[in-house]
Amino acid sequence: MKIEMAYFSEGVSMKRKRLLVCNVQTVAIVLCLVPFIKALTPEGLALLDFKENLHDPVGVLQSWNLSDISPCSWRGIICNNVTSRVETLNLPRASLNGTISSQLGTLSELRRLGLHFNKFTGPIPASLGNLTFLKALYLHNNSLTGSLPDTLGLLPKLQVLDVSNNKLEGEVPESYINLSKRKFFFTGNGLLCGNSLLGLPACSLSSQESSSIRNASHSSWSLWKILLVSVGGFLFFKLIIGLLLLRRWLREDEEREIDLGKGGKLVMFKGGTTVPTSREMLRAVRRIKKKDIVGEGGYGTVYKIVLKDNSTFAVKKLKQCLEAARGFENELETLGEIKHCNLVKLRGYCISPSTKLLIYDFLPNGTLDQLLHPRTDAEKQNPVDWQTRVNVALGVARALGYIHHCCEPRIVHRDVSATNVLLDENFEPRLSDFGLAKLMDYGDTHVTVTVAGTFGYVSPEYAKTGQATEKSDVFSFGVLLLEILSGRRPTDSSISEEHVNLAGWVRSLHENCEEFEIVEKSLRDTVPHRELAMVMEIACRCISLAPQERPRMDKIAQYLERLIELDSPPSDFTLSTTASIRTRSLNNIDNPRPSHDFLDISDLPGFRHDGHKFVIDMGQSS
C-alpha cells in the first residue's frame, strides 16, 4: 500500500508563523498629535525643535507652546505685520544651555538672530547659510566649538557677524573674505587662523592638519552616533516584536489540545478524492484547539480540522495505546487498506511517545444518535422517515457483514451503537471505530479485561466474560434496530421499571407478542405494518440471549435488501404464523386492517414453512 509520511522531532511545537505586528501605541500618539500639527505653522515647529535641544533654567521659553497657532506672540520672536513670518529671534542673556538646532535654517525670512551671552555649545549649523535675508548674526560669548561653516560667508545681505569669545578653531574659509568690508568679530577664538585681510594669523601646516583631523574625528563620531541609534532602535523594535510573539505562542501552547511531544511520525494513505500531504496535515493537527471538538466516544475525543483547500477531516485522539507501537502501526496499515462504502475510511495516523491519532474522512451530517434523538423543537416536528431508517439499518448491516465475513483476518467491532454510525451529505451511513479492537485471526475471539462498548448495546455474554465475537456485534445491531423502530435510546428512562434497558423490555414483550408497543407512533401511522413486523422479527432474533440463535450479519443484510426491493406483495395469503400474529398485534395498537393486507413472505430468502407457521431462517452460527 502506498503511503506518504512526515517525521517530526520538535519537543514543543514551534510553528512557522507569519504575523504582522502593529505598534498601536505609536499610532495612537501620532493620531493625537495630528490636530496640533495642523494648528501650528512650520516656523513654529522649527522653533519648538530649537527649544527641545535647550535647557531653560529661568523659563524664558515658557510661552513657546505647541497649542498656539502662530509663534508671533512668543518671547524673543518678532514677526512681519503683513505676512506673519518670523523676522527676528533675539534671546540674549537668557542662560540657555544646549546646541543650536539646524531647524533655524528653515526660517527663510529671518533678518536678525541674536543668541549672545548664553551657554550654547557644539558647532554652528551650516544650515544658517540658508537664511538669505539675514543681516545680523550675534553668537558671541558662548562656548561654540568646531570650525566656521563656509556658507555664512556667502550670505548676500549679512552686515554683522559676531562670533567672538567662543571656542572655534581651524582655518576660516575663503568665502569670509567677502566680509572684510563689513562688521565681523572673530576675537577670543585662539585657534582660529586664516586670511590676513580678516586680521587672523596665518595657519601653519600642523594647525591645518590638526583641524582636519578634528573635523574628521567629529564627522566620524557623528556617523557612529547615527549608526548606534539606528541599530539600537532596530534591536528595540525586534525585542518588542519578540515579546509579542512569545506571548502569543505561550497563549497558543495553553490552548493546544494535542501535544505531539518529541519524536514521531504522521502517515497518510494514498487514495481518495483528496489526499493532503503529511506535512500539511501535521501543521493542521498542531493547530487543534478545544473549540474543534465535535464528539467523544469510548476510544477517545474527535476533532474537526479544515485544511487550506477547505477539505475537512476528523482526527480521533485515542485515550490509550491499544498495542505496542509496532503492532499498533501494523494494525492501522491493515485497516488503511479496507474500503467499503458503509465504513468510515481511515486516511492516516500519527504516533508519538505521548499521543496516538487516527485521521478519518469528516462526515457532515453527524451521527445516527443525533438524527434519531433530536434536541430542538424544530427537529422534533420532523421525525425521520421510514425509508431513511431502513437504509441506515441496511448500510450498517452491510458494513458489519463485510468486516465479519470478507476481511482476513476477521474484525469484531465491539462497540456498535448509534453514536458510531455517521451520516454523509446524502445521509448514507458509515460505520466508524471498526478495527480499533485487536484484529482477530480467523475463528479466534477477542478476550479483554475491560469491556469496550456502550452501555445498553453490549451483549450479556460479552459483559460477563469479556469475550467478544461476531455474535456480540449482532446483539448490538439488534439493539440498534430497536432504537430505529422506537426512537428510544437503549437506556431510555421511560422504560418499564422491571427492565433496565430496551433489549430486556422488548424480550419480555416478545413473549406475549406485544413488542410493537415500542414502535414510534409516527411509524405506526405511516408504514405498512407488515414491514414493521419483519424488521421487528429481525431485531428480536438479534437480541436473543443465546448467541447461537442470532443470525449472521451477511444474512441480515440480504434480507433487508429484499425488504427494500419489495414492490407489490400478493394479497391472497393471511398469516396464521408467528409473524402474522405479531402483525395483527401491531394492527390492534391502532386501527385494525383487513386480512388481505397481510403479506405472503414464503418467497423471501431465509423463510421456510414449519408445520403451522413460517420461520425466518437467516443461517447458522459461524
Catalytic residues: 415
DSSP letter (8 states) at residue 61: T
Give the E-state strand segments of 215-345 in sequence order.
Answer: 264-269, 293-296, 300-306, 312-318
What does the alpha-carbon distance between residue 347 and residue 4 come to, in Å, rounded to a whole number?
Answer: 11
Residue 329 half-sphere exposure, CB side, CA atoms within 13 Å?
12
Q: How far is CA 305 from CA 88, 176, 359, 468, in A?
A: 72, 79, 10, 33
Sequence-separated (6 or more) residues with CB below 8 Å from residue 145: 121, 122, 123, 166, 167, 168, 169
Bridge partners, residue 356, by sequence? 351
Phi, psi (degrees; rounded to nearest 5) at 588: -65, -20
What does the alpha-carbon distance between residue 418 and residue 19 come to, in Å, rounded to a whole number?
Answer: 44
What does the alpha-carbon distance between residue 109 and residue 81 come to, in Å, rounded to a whole number?
Answer: 13
Phi, psi (degrees; rounded to nearest 5) at 438: -60, 130
At 248 the three-state DSSP class reads: helix
User: Does residue 475 contact residue 400 with C-beta atoms inside 8 Å?
Assistant: no
What does the alpha-carbon distance between residue 364 and residue 425 come to, in Å, rounded to a whole number?
Answer: 6
Give the E-state strand segments of 44-178 in sequence order.
Answer: 54-55, 77-79, 86-90, 97-99, 112-114, 119-122, 136-138, 143-146, 160-162, 167-171
The response to whether 316 counts as a known ligand-binding position is no
Query: What would the DSSP string read from start to end of 554-572?
Result: HHHHHHHHHHHH-----SS
DSSP letter (8 states) at residue 125: P
What does the alpha-carbon distance between residue 369 and residue 374 come to, in Å, rounded to a whole number?
Answer: 8
What does the alpha-carbon distance between residue 342 and residue 363 come to, in Å, rounded to a whole number?
Answer: 12
Peptide bond into 490 cis (omega under 30): no
User: Does residue 512 contact residue 518 with C-beta atoms inside 8 Å?
Assistant: no
What does the alpha-carbon distance between residue 316 and residue 433 come to, in Å, rounded to a whole number?
Answer: 10
Tell me the one-letter amino acid at 533: A
553-565 and 386-405 are packed helices; what angle lies between their axes, rounded to 10 degrees? 150
Sequence-separated (6 or more) residues with CB below 8 Å from residue 250: none
Question: Cβ atoms within 10 A of the Cβ of 202, count?
Answer: 10
Q: How far is CA 246 from CA 13, 16, 241, 536, in A?
A: 13, 13, 8, 62
Bridge partners, residue 121, by sequence? 99, 143
Q: Quick one: three-class SS letters along 354-401?
A: CCEEEEEECCCCCEHHHHHCCCCHHHHCCCCCHHHHHHHHHHHHHHHH
Tell me which H or E stretch contains 615. strand 613-616
- Which residues line the annotated binding site for ATP? 317
